[in-house]
Each structure stands twice: as structure tokens, then as C-alpha cells.
Amino acid sequence: MAKDVLCEVSNCVFWEDGNLCSADRIYVVSHSGKQALDQKETDCKTFQSEE
């Protein structure tokens, strides 16, 4: 599990110095339903398909 969650959105209430996210949990979505083919179809820059 990731130790640090990075965020570049500095006007978010959970943003902290060093581009860190202080939220208790993270919610990642796919723009194409329950499965995504690549990172462009998600709001997650670290997405990698398990297929």
C-alpha cells in the first residue's frame, strides 16, 4: 500500500506542502464504467491494467 499519496491540486482542502494528500481515503473513478483500458480513462495517474 502506498505510504504517500501525491496531489498537485493546491486549492484542495486535503492538499499539504510537498504535494501530499492528507485525506483518510482516496476515491478513483473510471470514465468508461467499471473497467478502464488505460490511465486516460481514469482519474488516477498511476493506473495500470491488470490484464
In a domain, 17, yes or no: yes
Q: Does the structure show a pLDDT above 90 at 5?
A: yes
Q: Is residue 50 part of a domain?
A: no
What is the tally of structural domains in the chain? 1
- The tens digit of pLDDT for each residue in 7-50 reads 999 999 999 999 999 999 999 999 989 999 999 999 998 999 98
Residue 21 within a domain: yes
pLDDT at 41: 94
Residue 22: inside a domain = yes
Largest CA distance in the chain: 35
User: What pTM was estimated for this model as a whole?
Assistant: 0.73
> Is 7 inside a domain boundary?
yes
Residue 3 lies in a domain: yes
DSSP the chain: --S--B---TTSTTEETTTEE--SS----BTTSS--SSGGGBS-TT-----
Confirm whether 49 is domain-assigned: no
Q: Work out the pLDDT band at 3, boundaries 50, 70, 90.
A: confident
